[in-house]
């Protein structure tokens, strides 16, 4: 798939932009803070309906939009897929502007018809590479859960729904647990929140465990391709619920062939989901008193982590800077690989300033993978940092002061 056209109104540093994007690699060249990254963010918004890495809705709207009667930002895109083109329209409107309490409403359209987020997500698939990805390795577990969530939301709309509902249940349930801790009272109410916690939680857990297995199988070879020597990169989903039954996801060594040999992944996932729900329910019953005493939900996907090992050594505390960089690239390429295997479409790659951090060899190896994709948007401050042999057919766009111009060759 590829993003064929992009239109922005009041988005980040762009007041107005309309641009046709070709297939193949696209180099966005310009000095810092000129609007290169905003273009990748716009593509990310089209894919997920949200801004990447915790950018606030307020920050998506161009500062000049405050002059308008109703401040808003708009991202519109036309996506070409095997099945034909689709258009995505995401408008973010500021609905109230009481100082300190700004509120925003998103209006989403797919092919001109109003749609819910879960119907829009997945129309465009993207994988975003940024220097911040290093947080995937030494950041908090939430960073690694988000990595899985961004991947799974784009390929499984049931996951989008389950995740939204689950997060909502956790908030409700934590309020109730806190009230029971502080003021005591009738505990029967807890049961009505346990049930949706388990149902939606089991769905999330089964999908995450399956995705971690696929990532594990793919990332190993990708990492070898990038670094050129045979270290074993292992990825495993770590969860109290999934581990409790000795699930296959806890087995650190699996051959890449397992993935292809696995019969009917969908049936597997459904079975796993029912089993996980049972275990989840049992664990919950066993820790009721502790949960009330601490006033917080202690079990479930919101407490899990993704374990990353290189030749058996945990990368989270021990990885070197160089290892962390290549491992994050392998994780991101594996994310793209899982999307491709699941949907049959190669996602659009968004590379934000990652080339400059790599030596010539690794850059060449990364670009070899990138060029297998139908489209990639690559930002760089220095066009000479890119090997021209690999990007001969690349389109070069100069970005300066929120103006984008195609460079004629």
Partner 1 sequence: MSSALPRPVARLIDAFARLPGIGPKTASRLAFHLLRMPDDHALQLSEALRALKESVVHCQRCYNIAETSPCEVCADPSRDSGTVCVVEEPLDVIALERTGEYKGLYHVLHGAISPVDGIGPTDLRIDELVRRMGVEPIREIILATNPSLEGDATAMFIERALRANGSEVRLTRLARGLPVGGDIEYADEVTLGRAMTGRSEVR
Shortest distance in whole angstroms from residue 48 CB to partner 1 = 19
H-helix or E-strand containing 49? none
- List, in sequence order, the alpha helices (H) in 107-187: 117-120, 135-138, 141-155, 157-183
| Phi/psi at 405 (5° precision) | -130, 135
Structure tokens at 398: 């100069």
Shortest distance in whole angstroms from residue 57 CB to partner 1 = 18
Nearest residue (CB) to partner 1, 108 versus 377 = 108
Shortest distance in whole angstroms from residue 117 CB to partner 1 = 11
**What is the Cα gyration radius of the chain?**
22
Nearest residue (CB) to partner 1, 161 versus 303 = 161
Coil/strand/helix, residue 114 = strand
Shortest distance in whole angstroms from residue 198 CB to partner 1 = 13
The rounded Cα 16 to chain-centroid distance in angstroms is 27
Shortest distance in whole angstroms from residue 274 CB to partner 1 = 17
Beta-bridge partner residues of 107: 91
Q: Which residues here bind partner 1, judged by CB under 8 A? A: 96, 98, 116, 161, 165, 168-169, 171-173, 175-176, 179, 185-186, 188-189, 191-193, 195-196
Nearest residue (CB) to partner 1, 288 versus 405 = 288
Shortest distance in whole angstroms from residue 294 CB to partner 1 = 16
Whole-number Å distance between alpha carbons of 91 and 108: 7
Shortest distance in whole angstroms from residue 193 CB to partner 1 = 6
Nearest residue (CB) to partner 1, 102 versus 258 = 102
Nearest residue (CB) to partner 1, 189 versus 382 = 189
Contacts of residue 198, defined as CB under 8 A and 6 or more positions apart, other chains included, come to 277, 280, 281, 284
For the purposes of burial, counting CB atoms within 10 Å of the CB of 8, is it exposed (0-12), middle (13-18) or buried (19 or more)?
buried
DSSP string, 341-403: HHHSSPPEEEEES-GGGS-HHHHHHHHHHHTTSSEEEEEES-GGGS-TTTTTT-EEEEEETTE
If we measure between CA atoms, which residue out of 3, 33, 8 comes closest to residue 20? 3
Nearest residue (CB) to partner 1, 196 versus 245 = 196
**Across 99-140, where does the E strand assignment appear?**
101-110, 113-114, 126-129
Nearest residue (CB) to partner 1, 34 versus 297 = 297
Shortest distance in whole angstroms from residue 293 CB to partner 1 = 17
- What number of helices (H) and strands (E) belong to the chain? 14, 15
Nearest residue (CB) to partner 1, 119 versus 243 = 119
Shortest distance in whole angstroms from residue 183 CB to partner 1 = 10
H-helix or E-strand containing 224? helix 188-227
Nearest residue (CB) to partner 1, 27 versus 160 = 160
């Amino acid at each position: 798939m590829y993003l064929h056209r992009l239109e922005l109104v009041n988005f980040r540093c762009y007041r107005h932009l309309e641009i046709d994007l070709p297939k193949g690699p696209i180099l966005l060249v310009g000095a810092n803070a000129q609007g290169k990254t905003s273009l990748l963010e716009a593509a990310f918004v089209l894919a997920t309906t949200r801004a990447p890495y915790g950018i606030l809705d307020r920050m998506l709207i161009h500062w000049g939009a405050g002059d308008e009667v109703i401040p808003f930002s708009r991202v519109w895109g036309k996506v070409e897929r095997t099945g034909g083109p689709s258009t995505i329209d995401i408008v973010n409107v500021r609905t109230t502007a009481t100082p300190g309490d700004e509120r925003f409403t998103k209006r989403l359209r797919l092919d001109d018809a109003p749609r819910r987020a879960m119907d829009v997500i997945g129309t465009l698939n993207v994988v975003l590479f940024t220097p911040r990805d290093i947080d995937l390795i030494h950041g908090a577990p939430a960073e690694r859960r988000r990595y899985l969530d961004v991947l799974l939301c784009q390929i499984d709309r049931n996951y989008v729904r389950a995740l939204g509902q689950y997060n909502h249940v956790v908030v409700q349930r934590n309020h109730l647990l806190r009230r029971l801790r502080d003021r005591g009272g009738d505990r029967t109410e807890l049961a009505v929140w346990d049930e949706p916690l388990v149902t939606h939680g089991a769905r999330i857990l089964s999908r995450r465990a399956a995705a971690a297995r696929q990532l594990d199988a793919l990332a190993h070879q990708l990492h070898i391709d990038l670094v050129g020597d045979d270290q074993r990169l292992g990825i495993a989903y770590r969860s109290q619920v999934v581990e409790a039954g000795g699930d296959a996801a806890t087995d650190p060594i699996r051959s890449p062939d397992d993935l292809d040999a696995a019969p009917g992944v969908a049936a597997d996932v459904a079975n796993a989901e029912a089993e996980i729900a049972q275990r989840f329910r049992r664990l919950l019953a066993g820790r009721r008193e502790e949960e009330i005493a601490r006033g917080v939900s202690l079990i479930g996907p919101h407490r899990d982590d993704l374990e990353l090992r290189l030749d058996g050594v945990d990368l989270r505390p021990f990885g070197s800077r160089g290892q962390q960089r290549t491992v994050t690239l392998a994780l991101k390429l594996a994310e793209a690989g899982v999307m491709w295997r699941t949907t049959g479409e190669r996602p659009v790659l968004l590379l934000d300033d990652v080339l400059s951090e790599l030596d010539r060899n690794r850059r060449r190896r990364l670009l070899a993978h990138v060029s297998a994709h139908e489209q990639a948007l690559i930002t760089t401050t220095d066009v000479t940092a890119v090997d021209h042999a690999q990007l001969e057919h690349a389109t070069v766009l100069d970005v300066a002061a929120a103006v984008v111009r195609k460079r004629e060759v």
